[in-house]
Amino acid sequence: MNITQTNKFANNQKEPTAKTGISILQLIFFQRKYILISLGFMIISVLLNLTSPLFMKQMIDTAIPEKNWSLLVGLIIGLISIPIFVTLFTFLGDKYNHRIGAYVTDQLRKKMFYKLTHFSPKTYNHLKSGDIAGRMYSCGEVGDLYITQFVVPGILHGLMFIGITGIMIYLNWKLTIISLVILPIMFFLSKKPAMSIRNISQNVMQLQQELSSYTTELVQGLKTVQTLNQVQKENDYQYKWIDNYRIERTKAFIVGSFSELLNKGQQALGIGVLFGYGSYEIFQGNLSIGSLVAFVAYFSQLFGSLEKAQFGLVKGIELKPKLEMIKEILDVNDEQDFETTSPTPLKIKGEIKFQNVSFAYDGDRGQVNNINLHIKPGHLIGIVGPSGGGKSTILDLLLGFYTPDSGSIFLDQYNLKEIPLKELRSKMTLVSQDVFLWNKSIKDNLQYANPDASIQDLEKACYEAQILDFIQQLPQGWDTVVGERGVKISGGEKQRLAIARALLRNPQIILMDEPTSALDSKTEAHLQEHLERIFKGKTVIIVAHRLATIRNADSILVIKDGEVAEVGTHEELLERKGIYDQLYREQFQAN
């Protein structure tokens, strides 16, 4: 055999796709054109902003003393129009920033969803659904915030700082030195509140995360909670959460306000010092009044820039835990390849072989040991055995959800690990032990397996699965919505819908994990008659606790403690007087 797996993931695209791992900085880099445009607008607005104090200086030092009306009018028009143009250019710059931010956000979201849907069970078994939902929603906007509140203020106010300092030196270098001594002290003083904000914001994030995963779990388990009389306990937990959350939010508010107060105080103090020393310089004849006014205006701008840069820094610090949560998902390297297909579609007869297959979930927990099986194409195989023995695990191995730690599985002549997953899954269908249905209509749930299925196809499959009568007598018929995970229909109805869904796919191999455990014996017997007819020629594996379900199987495997304990037909196994015989007697007596 020769199935070459072409790796379509090779990262040679220019633009990132959802598949490629990539950092935020790289994402920003892909938007360099817009960054340059936005930077251009920002530089224009910075330069304009820098001119207004010079206009003031000119007015105080020249136009007013000389009573030069035309100059005065010109300067006043300038002072009026500068802020308007500054706002206009800032708006244009911002427009592009948001565009870049939205792009980064979209890419991060796409990547998160891509990763999530491609994780193998090894990874997603450990995930908490609410936790993931929380990350998707609240962390989604991170890209936008990162650009507009961290990167851009950083660049913009960095530029402002350089420009303003240059002009200040030109106006009076001594005053500039005083300003540059005052500023780092101020910066240092406000560092501590910034660090506290970071810790608090981390706590707030954690609390939000906790609530979101807790609520998802609670909704799923509400019935159990009520049955076990634990409502009070859950309420206590929720009230405690609400209190904690309020405390953290209050802390954040207080620290934020305190930090603002500190800033304003520092600025006022700084201006006071400048006016004091500046006046001295004027008395000495080293400085004009206009220059001092302009200087103080620049100092305010400088301080404003620093404040905004610091605000950006705090935002960046606040965003860090969110970014890390995204990274935690993006950095997991456990993607399954669902895209690759073999060059020529595989044709299989449906023969299955397990050769010395061993597998364990965690260390030595949940093992199957040295499984050897040979299932002929078109055979119906029953698997029975005590709970926890490894029956579902064998089906999961066959479906490629897990790979054997040792040994090999073959589908016809192909080693399973060489068959692309997409192709493998197209050859099999599974009716699993816990049926999953979307909170959608019956029709949507059935067509999910085969979007091309016509209503006649649905009717046929549902008839064979013994569920058509039920659907037809529902007031909304096919459009009946089944509730989350199918809570609005019974366990047996869910199972029969799952069987109908599997029949709509009609592959060569059919796996069923206790598909009829919730049915009464009469319905099960009816269903079996139909299925035996439909399944003719297909390889079918049915896991069952009720032995009547698999009595007519071509061969029955008894799985115990992760090993094949017995193999044979119903009659052969009874004759052996082993585990199967014992199970049979127990059930026979119970009935």
**Window 427-486: residues binding Mg ion (CB under 5 A):** 433
User: Taking contact as CB under 6 A, which single stretch among the options 257-265, 303-311, 387-395, 565-573 is the one that binds ligand ATP?
Assistant: 387-395
**Would you count residue 392 as binding Mg ion (CB under 5 A)?**
yes
Residues in the chain: 591
For residue 533, the partner it binds in ligand ATP, Mg ion, none, with Cβ less than 5 to 8 A by kind, is none
Q: Which is nearer to Mg ion, 433 or 439 (CB)?
A: 433
Residue 96: count of CB within 10 angstroms of its CB:
22
- State the Cα–Cα distance between residues 40 and 20, nearest whole angstrom: 31
Whether the Cβ atoms of residue 421 and residue 400 lie closer than 8 Å to each other? yes
In terms of CB distance, is 293 or 371 closer to Mg ion?
371
CB of 32 to Mg ion, least distance (A): 53
Q: Which is nearer to ligand ATP, 351 or 396 (CB)?
A: 396
Whole-number Cα distances in Å, 459 to 6, 452, 518: 40, 14, 22
DSSP conformation class of 545: S
Q: Does 212 bind Mg ion (CB under 5 A)?
A: no
For residues 52 and 393, which CB has a smaller minimum distance to ligand ATP in the complex? Answer: 393
* Residue 537 binding partner per list ligand ATP, Mg ion, none, with a CB distance cut-off of 5 to 8 Å that depends on partner kind: none
337 C-beta neighbours (distance < 10 Å), count = 14
Residues 566, 576 contacting (CB under 8 angstroms): yes
3-state secondary structure of 426: helix
Please state the closest distance from residue 501 (CB atom) to ligand ATP, in A: 20
- If binding is defined by CB under 6 A, does position 494 make contact with ligand ATP? no
Q: Which range, of 163-171, 381-389, 456-464, 547-555, touches ligand ATP by CB under 6 A?
A: 381-389
Stretch that binds Mg ion, among 63-71, 425-433, 484-492, 577-585 (CB under 5 A): 425-433
> How many DSSP H helices and E strands does the chain contain?
20, 10
What single-letter DSSP state applies at residue 558? E
**Shortest approach of ligand ATP to residue 517 CB, angstroms?**
10
Strand ranges (DSSP E) for 476-547? 509-513, 539-543
Rounded CA gap, 471 and 105, in Å?
43
Residue 425 · residue 336 · CB < 8 Å: no
Instruction: List the x/- string, 426-455, binding to ligand ATP by CB under 6 A.
Output: -------x----------------------
- Closest CB to ligand ATP belongs to which residue? 366
Decide if residue 404 touches ligand ATP (CB under 6 A): no
Q: Are 438 and 468 within 8 A, CB to CB?
A: no
Provide, rounded to whole angstroms, the least separation between the CB of residue 366 and ligand ATP: 3
Nearest CB to Mg ion, comparing residues 392 and 539: 392
**Residue 365, contacted partner among Mg ion, ligand ATP, none, CB below 5-8 A by kind:** ligand ATP
Residue 126 binds ligand ATP, judged by CB under 6 A: no
- Contact call for residue 389 and ligand ATP (CB under 6 A): yes
Q: 380-384 and 406-411 as β-strands: parallel, antiparallel, unpaired?
A: unpaired
| Binding residues with Mg ion: total (CB under 5 A) | 2
201 contact, one of Mg ion, ligand ATP, none, CB 5-8 Å limit per kind: none
Q: Which residue is nearest to Mg ion (CB)?
A: 392
Interaction between residue 549 and Mg ion (CB under 5 A)? no
CA separation for the pair 146, 323 (Å, rounded): 9
Cα–Cα dist 293/281, whole Å: 13
Of the candidates 80, 114, 94, 206, the residue with the CA atom closest to the CA atom of residue 156 = 94
Burial class of residue 468 (count of CB atoms within 10 Å of its CB; 0-12, 13-18, 19+)? middle
Contact pattern for ligand ATP over residues 341 through 370, marking x by CB under 6 A: --------------------xx--xx----
Contact yes or no for 355/321 (Cβ under 8 A): no
CB of 38 to Mg ion, least distance (A): 57
| Main-chain phi, psi angles of 83, to 5 degrees | -60, -35
Q: Which residues contact 424 (CB under 8 A, 6 or more apart)?
A: 399, 400, 411, 416
Determine what percent of the chain falls in helix, strand and coil, rounding each to the nearest 5.
65, 10, 25
Of 58, 172, 212, 392, the residue at the interface with ligand ATP (CB under 6 A) is 392
In the bound state with Mg ion, the residue whose beta carbon lies nearer, of 86 and 384, is: 384
Q: How far is the CB of 422 from ligand ATP (least distance, A)?
A: 23
Q: Is 387 in the site for ligand ATP (CB under 6 A)?
A: yes
Tokens representing 319 are 């965003």
CA angle in degrees (0–180, nearest 5) for 209-215-219: 155
Q: Is 390 in the site for ligand ATP (CB under 6 A)?
A: yes
Q: Token pair of 389, please?
A: 């023995």
For residue 128, report the phi and psi dihedrals to the nearest 5 degrees: -100, 125
Sheet containing 352-362, strands listed edge to edge, beginning at the edge strand earlier in sequence = 365-375, 352-362, 406-411, 414-415
In the complex, minimum distance from the CB of residue 392 to ligand ATP, in angstroms, rounded to a whole number: 3
Q: Read off the tokens for 545.
A: 């606790």
CB of 192 to ligand ATP, least distance (A): 46
Size of site (CB under 6 A) for ligand ATP:
13
Q: For residue 555, list its beta bridge partners.
A: 381
Min separation Cβ 352 and ligand ATP, Å: 17
- 151 versus 498: smaller Cβ distance to ligand ATP: 498
Question: Judged by CB, which is closer to ligand ATP: 165, or 433?
Answer: 433
Q: Which two tokens stand for residue 539?
A: 């390889």
Q: Which is nearer to ligand ATP, 270 or 390 (CB)?
A: 390
Query: Is residue 495 near Mg ion by the rule CB under 5 A?
Result: no
Q: Binder to ligand ATP among 391, 494, 496, 501 (CB under 6 A)? A: 391
In contact, 341 and 125? CB cutoff 8 Å: no
Residue numbers at the binding site for ligand ATP (CB under 6 A)? 125, 361-362, 365-366, 387-393, 433
Residue numbers at the binding site for Mg ion (CB under 5 A)? 392, 433
